[in-house]
Structures are given as structure tokens and as C-alpha cells.
Amino acid sequence: MNKKPIKILLADDDEDDRLFFKEAIDELNLNTELTIVEDGEKLMNNLLDPTIEMPHVIFLDLNMPCKSGMECLSEIRDSELLASLTVAIYSTSSSEEDIEQSFVKGANIYIKKPNDFESLKKVLNRVITTNWQYFSSGMNKENFLLSI
Amino acid sequence: MELDHLGIDYAFLGGNEVELKSSIPAGLFCQLKENLASFGISIVDNQKDLLVQKIKDAILEMIYSEENPPVSKTSVYLSEKLNLSYGHLTNLFSEETLTTLENYIILQKIERAKDLIIHGEYNLTEIADKLNYSSVAHLSNQFKKTTGLTPSAFQRIVNKRKQAKQISSKQELTSN
């Protein structure tokens, strides 16, 4: 198995959603290390803090106070330092337009928030393990698009 | 060459492999590992990792070969190439990579399909043929299953991204 943990960063302002997410990750039995922030501003501060190691994947809620998920995504893609990060949009919307718009703005993954715990676990497992292949095999992240 | 630099005896085995003539102390090994990391080279220092890497290389070689059709049966190809039973390879792969050999092959095939779609030289029928799919429908289904998107949605998104980049670089030019 992996020697080093897979680092995951979640930005979500909803407390219930954060708990739900953390429990699902804990139950996956993957070697992961989860950091949670409550809004977009805190997310950007975390990413730009040179003492904190970069995550392997960021889960980004779209509707957050201070700085929305879309604003964060644009900032990440415009920053030379952060541009290559894997960003997963984590949203309640399943409209084709929102999905396509997120990808065009540079998201790698679009997740429609599942309502039940088992589906959430399945979705997170697929996202984390697929992203791991891109990392461990040095695949072209620009072509990494996954809608789930 | 970092090995000369650190005074270590070695021989090339071809490909990505180097054989060290004698065992080296752990401290020196760590230094070598660090020095090579600054060149973006990682040392595969365990037999399982090495075999996984060989499997991955063989898969890429198969998928990117220009022979048409490339290989008839993946399991036969891999076990002949690596001289190990297919069952052994699939078990090891699942243990080490967080995915299955089968899923990994599909993922890499779809990556190649993406490249070919973006490149624009071939249509979907030709791409399906090149990647050994029995039909366009089969390719499209597997594409959708793997990415959640249809090949045409994928192409549309990539094109829109390109346009957005061109617009923003034009804006930069005019604002300068």
C-alpha cells in the first residue's frame, strides 16, 4: 500500500456536510490525511502558506461566504504555484450548464453531492483513487476530467 | 551523472534500470535519493514497485504502439512480456496501486483517446479502431463510464478552455 498519506483538503461552509464528508473519508480505509476549512478565504490562505504541504486533491463547495468556490477555482488556475492542483467541485447542482462551466473554468472533477452515506463513500473512493493514478503515473492532468 | 559524483560503481541494464555493483550504506543511499529527486528522478527501491512500474510501461507500450490492431489479448501480452502469470500480475497490481490492472488499462486507453480527440486528426471511428474497440459505441460507452462525459462533451469543454485562454491572453496584450 501507499507509504505516504494522500492529502485531502475540503472547503465547505456547511457543518453537517463537513461532518458527513469526514465520516465517509474515515470509513474508506485509504491512507488519507484530511484538512477542513470553512470558507474560500481560509482555503486560499492555506494553499498559499509555504509551511503547509500541497494537497493531492481539493474538494471545493461552490456556495461559500467570503470567497465562492468559483472565485477560488479561478485564483488557483491563474496562480503559477497552484495551477497544477487537482480541484474537485463539490456541489448540490446537477445542471449540465453548471457542470460544463466548472470544467471550462478549470475544474478536474465535478461531484454532485450524494444524499446518502454509502453513495458518498463510493464517490469519494473513486475520486481519490482515480486522482492517485494521475499522480503516481505522471499522467497529463490537463486532460483529467471526471463528472460523477 | 550523480552516481559518478558520489563515487558509486554501476552498470546500465537498459531502459530505466541501473545495477549498483556493490551495496551502499543507507546514508549514501538517502543522499543519492535526494540528489536525484532534484532532477525529478525517483528511485524505485523495492521489487514490488519495480514490477508495478514494468507493468505500467508495458501497458503504455501496448496502447501507444502504432501497429494496427496492436495486440489481440492483453493478458497474454503482459504475461509473455514480463514472464509471469497474469493472475500474479493482477494481484500484485491491486495490492500496490489503489486500482485494478483492468481499470488501469481502461484509464490509460481513454487517456490516449482524449489525446487523439484533442489532436483532431482522426474521427471517433478511426480512434475506436486504433485502440482496438469493436465499435464506436463501445468506445463512447467506456469513455462515458470512465469520465462521466461523452467524447463530444469532452471535446467541447477542451475547445472552450482554449478559447477562454486566448481571450484572456488577448486582453493582457491590449491592457499592456
Nearest CA to A128 among A146, A112, A102, A142?
A146
DSSP B150-163: -HHHHHHHHHHHHH
Q: Which residues of chain A have pLDDT under 70?
A: 1-3
Question: Do A62 and A87 meet the contact criterion of CB atoms below 8 Å apart?
Answer: no
| Residues linked to residue A90 through DSSP beta bridges, in sequence order | A61, A111
- pLDDT tens, residue by residue, A13-42: 999 999 999 999 999 999 999 999 999 999
Q: Which residues of chain B from 99 to 158 reach within 8 Å of chain A, CB to CB?
A: 99, 104, 107-108, 111, 114-115, 118, 147-149, 153-154, 156-158
| Residues facing residue B52 across a β-bridge | none
Q: Using the beta-carbon criterion (under 8 Å), do B157 and A103 form an inter-chain contact?
A: yes
The ipTM value here is 0.93
Non-local (6+) Cβ contacts of B150 within 8 A are B140, B143, B144
Question: Could you tell me where the DSSP H helices lie in A40-113?
Answer: 40-48, 69-78, 96-104
Residue range of the domain that includes A90:
6-147
| Position A1 in a domain | no
Task: Put residue A106 in one of left, alpha, beta given phi > 0 → left and psi -120 to 50 → alpha.
Answer: left
What is the C-alpha to C-alpha distance for residues B170 and B176, in angstroms, rounded to an integer?
Answer: 10
B71 within some domain: no
Of B99, B149, B161, the CB nearest to A104: B161
Within 10 angstroms of residue A40's Cβ, the number of other Cβ atoms is 24
Decide if B43 touches A, using CB distance below 8 A.
Answer: no
The grid coordinates listed for A125 are 473512493
CATH number of domain containing A128: 3.40.50.2300
**Count of domains in chain B?**
1
**Residues spanned by the domain of B10:** 1-43
Q: How far apart are CA A13 and CA A64, in angstroms?
A: 6
pTM for the full predicted model: 0.84
**Residue B127 C-alpha from the chain's centroid:** 18
Cis check for the bond before A114: say yes or no (omega within 30 of 0): no
pLDDT attached to residue A1: 45
Q: Which chain B residues contact residue A110 at CB under 8 A?
A: 148
Per-residue pLDDT of chain B (176 residues; tens, 9 = 90+): 677 777 777 777 666 667 676 667 766 777 777 777 777 676 666 889 999 999 999 999 999 987 655 556 889 999 999 999 999 999 999 999 999 999 999 999 999 999 999 999 999 999 999 998 999 999 999 999 999 999 999 999 999 999 988 887 777 777 65
Rounded-to-integer distance, Cα B142 and Cα B136, Å: 10
**Cell numbers given for A91:** 456541489
Q: Output the pLDDT for position A66.
A: 87
CA gap A70, A100 in Å, rounded: 13
Question: Are residues B160 and B168 in contact, defined by beta-carbon separation less than 8 angstroms?
Answer: no
CB A36 within 8 A of CB A22: yes
Residue among B21, B72, B66, B26 at smallest CA distance from B45: B26
- Smallest Cβ–Cβ distance between B104 and the set A106, A133, A147 belongs to A133
Q: State how far the Cα of B7 lies from the Cα of B57, in Å rounded to an integer.
A: 30
B139 residue type, one letter? L
Q: What angle do CA A65, A27, B93 make, to 5 degrees?
A: 115
SS3 B18: strand
Residue-level pLDDT at B68: 58
Task: Determine the distance in angstroms separating the CA of A43 from the nearest CA of chain B, rounded to an integer.
Answer: 24
Q: Is residue B169 part of a domain?
A: no
Per-residue model confidence (pLDDT) at position B35: 78
Dihedral of the alpha carbons of B11, B15, B16, B18, in degrees to the nearest 10: -10
**Number of folded domains that form chain A:** 1
Give the best residue of A91, A145, A148 to mutate against chain B (max B CB count within 10 A): A145
Residue type, B171: Q
Give me the torsion for CA of B104, B108, B110, B111, rounded to 10°.
140
Is B165 inside any structural domain?
no
What integer pLDDT is reported at residue B176 of this predicted model? Answer: 57
Radius of gyration of chain B (CA): 22
